[in-house]
């Protein structure tokens, strides 16, 4: 073998070196809060050389504030980290360096949180940065955190990067695989946000209307408010209720859209169509009257109008929702309370709502109003499903017309007794749907003892995104 000469060794690509500098700085910042002077100066040189603003390297600058000063970056950040189609040909290494600089900013602002107390402004800034991260992945703001996809969180205060409303809907033309993204990333974002909320002096913030107005409602914040609501009063309680109401309204709108996307029963042609203009079937009317066309006058004479059928076949159904309100099921409690209220608004659906920990509470009188329902819940405590079963069983008067949805992680201390009661409901002819988690992230643990027995019973546990439960309920109720 001949030893290669210096001319045989490819020269190092300067773009690769630049990209490595940026990623080494990213890793150093994520795992060590101390600034590495050499990496910082090298990264600054790279950023300036490729024509990006040095503010990208400022840890105190939110993504929104950078975009506010440099609006042209908004389009680049939108779908920045979304997987695109494979392209043939040479890689654009200069573009890769640019993407690395922008992605590093988004990732550091979201995942490199600082220790110590958190202010309302800092929480709002993180939420704004998290929205840019979701957009960079090709999602809508809020889609990975708490199920408010498409709603966003409104405007932000100036210190949080407000002033520029992100354009577009995320994705850069590519649709992300949410079935993988949400379970993989959603819980991590939720965990970071929950940690920030816990480090914030929430009661003091709520007592100050100016500070409270900076808060953006999220699942983590709502959980903390619901846990602490009995310790709030006056202005603080009023601000807490306003935040809960805002969150409920946002999630309700998203879930209602999911419910309405499904069909609501077959058309009932035994009922004559209502003769109003909005039901007029113009195409059929023209077709049926074509024999009355006058070529000389170029006019169509209509003998009869035809209308569309809009009445649908429905059967009165009873929906009994039983929700575990123990500490591990807060997300499910909030989502299912809202979902129950939506189904309560459907025609001929009789909804009953029961919440339990070691005691059971019949929330049926407030099932139509998720806000009032959540204010009556008591989150935390142990779990004893048998007390909820005592309230649920009398509601199953017509098993064939009843669906029972039981949402829990099923870590019960009287497990055999509870399972026997659930099996009896299933054998009675009622539709029994065990649900392990009704969250936006789709992640949740289920007692394997119950999971195996539900599988043997022929009613496997539904675990995952809330859309799965919506589909199951619509299938049965329509």
Residue whose entry in the numeric block shows the structure tokens 């150093």: 28
C-beta of residue 447 within 8 angstroms of C-beta of residue 412: yes
Residue whose entry in the numeric block shows the structure tokens 């496997």: 460
Q: Which residues of the chain have pLDDT under 70?
A: 1-12, 84-90, 146-184, 258, 260-271, 309-316, 327-328, 380-381, 438-444, 464-465, 476-478
Residue whose entry in the numeric block shows the structure tokens 């203009």: 277
Q: Which two tokens stand for residue 140?
A: 């809508």
Ordered by where they begin, the domains of the chain are 14-83+92-257 (no CATH), 317-477 (3.40.50.410)
The arrangement of strands across the sheet holding 349-356 comes to 360-362, 349-356, 317-324, 402-407, 431-439, 462-465
C-beta of residue 30 within 8 angstroms of C-beta of residue 112: yes
Beta bridge partners of 324: 356
Distance CA 169, CA 137 (A): 11
**Closest to 349 (Cα-Cα) out of 238, 476, 451:** 476
Q: Which two tokens stand for residue 217?
A: 């409602």
Q: Which helix (H) or strand (E) holds 35?
A: none
What would the pLDDT profile of 155-204 be if each residue is shown by its tens digit? 333 334 333 333 334 444 455 665 566 556 777 887 888 888 888 888 88
Handedness of CA 142, 144, 149, 150 (dihedral sign): positive
C-beta of residue 59 within 8 angstroms of C-beta of residue 108: yes
- pLDDT value at position 91? 76
- pLDDT value at position 422? 95
Q: Which two tokens stand for residue 333?
A: 């409690």
Rounded to two decimals, the pTM is 0.62
Q: Where are the alpha helices (DSSP H) in 202-326?
A: 202-207, 209-212, 219-228, 234-261, 282-288
Distance CA 319, CA 345 (A): 12
Please enumerate in sequence order all residues whose Cβ is within 8 A of that of 283, keeping only pairs 6 or more positions apart, or say none: none
Q: What angle do CA 153, 156, 160 make, to 5 degrees?
A: 120
Distance CA 155, CA 379 (A): 30
- pLDDT value at position 378? 77
What would the pLDDT profile of 223-239 be if each residue is shown by its tens digit? 888 888 888 889 999 99
């Amino acid at each position: 073998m001949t030893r290669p000469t210096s001319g045989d060794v490819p020269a190092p690509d300067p773009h690769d070196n630049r990209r490595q500098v940026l990623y080494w700085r990213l890793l150093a910042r994520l795992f060590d809060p101390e600034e590495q002077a050499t990496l910082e100066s090298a990264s600054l040189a790279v950023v300036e050389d490729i024509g990006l603003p040095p503010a990208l390297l400022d840890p105190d600058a939110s993504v929104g504030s950078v975009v506010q000063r440099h609006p042209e970056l908004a389009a680049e950040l939108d779908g920045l980290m979304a997987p695109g189609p494979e392209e043939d040909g040479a890689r654009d290494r200069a573009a890769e360096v640019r993407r690395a600089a922008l992605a590093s900013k988004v990732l550091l602002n979201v995942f490199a949180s600082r220790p110590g107390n958190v202010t309302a402004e800092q929480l709002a800034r993180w939420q704004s940065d998290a929205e840019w991260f979701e957009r960079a992945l090709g999602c809508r703001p809020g889609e990975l955190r708490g199920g408010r996809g498409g709603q966003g969180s409104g405007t932000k205060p100036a210190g949080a990067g407000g002033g520029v409303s992100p354009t577009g809907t995320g994705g850069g033309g590519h649709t992300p695989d949410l079935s993988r993204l949400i379970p993989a990333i959603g819980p991590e974002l939720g965990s970071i946000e929950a940690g920030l909320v816990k480090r914030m002096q929430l009661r003091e913030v709520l007592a100050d209307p100016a500070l409270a107005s900076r808060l953006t409602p999220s699942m983590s914040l709502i959980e903390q408010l619901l846990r602490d609501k009995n310790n709030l009063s006056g202005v603080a309680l009023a601000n807490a209720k306003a935040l809960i109401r805002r969150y409920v309204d946002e999630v309700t709108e998203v879930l209602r859209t999911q419910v309405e996307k499904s069909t609501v029963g077959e058309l009932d042609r035994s009922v004559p169509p209502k003769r109003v203009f909005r039901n007029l079937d113009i195409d059929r009317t023209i077709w049926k009257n074509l024999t009355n066309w006058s070529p000389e006058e170029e006019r169509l004479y209509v003998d009869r109008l035809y209308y569309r059928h809009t009445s649908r076949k429905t059967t009165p159904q009873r929906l009994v929702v039983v929700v575990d309100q123990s500490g591990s099921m807060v997300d499910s409690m909030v989502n299912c309370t809202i979902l129950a209220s939506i189904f309560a608004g459907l025609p001929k659906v009789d909804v009953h709502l029961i919440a339990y920990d070691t005691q059971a509470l019949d929330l049926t009188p407030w099932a139509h109003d998720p806000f009032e329902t959540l204010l009556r819940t008591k989150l935390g405590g142990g779990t004893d499903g048998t007390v909820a079963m005592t309230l649920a069983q009398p509601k199953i008067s017509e098993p064939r017309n009843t669906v029972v949805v039981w949402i829990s992680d099923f870590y019960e201390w009287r497990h055999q007794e509870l399972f026997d009661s659930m099996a009896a409901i299933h054998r009675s002819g009622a539709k029994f749907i065990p649900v392990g988690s009704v969250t936006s992230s789709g992640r949740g643990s289920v007692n394997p003892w119950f999971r195996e027995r539900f599988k043997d019973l022929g009613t496997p546990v539904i675990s995952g995104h809330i859309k799965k439960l919506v589909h199951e309920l619509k299938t049965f109720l329509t």
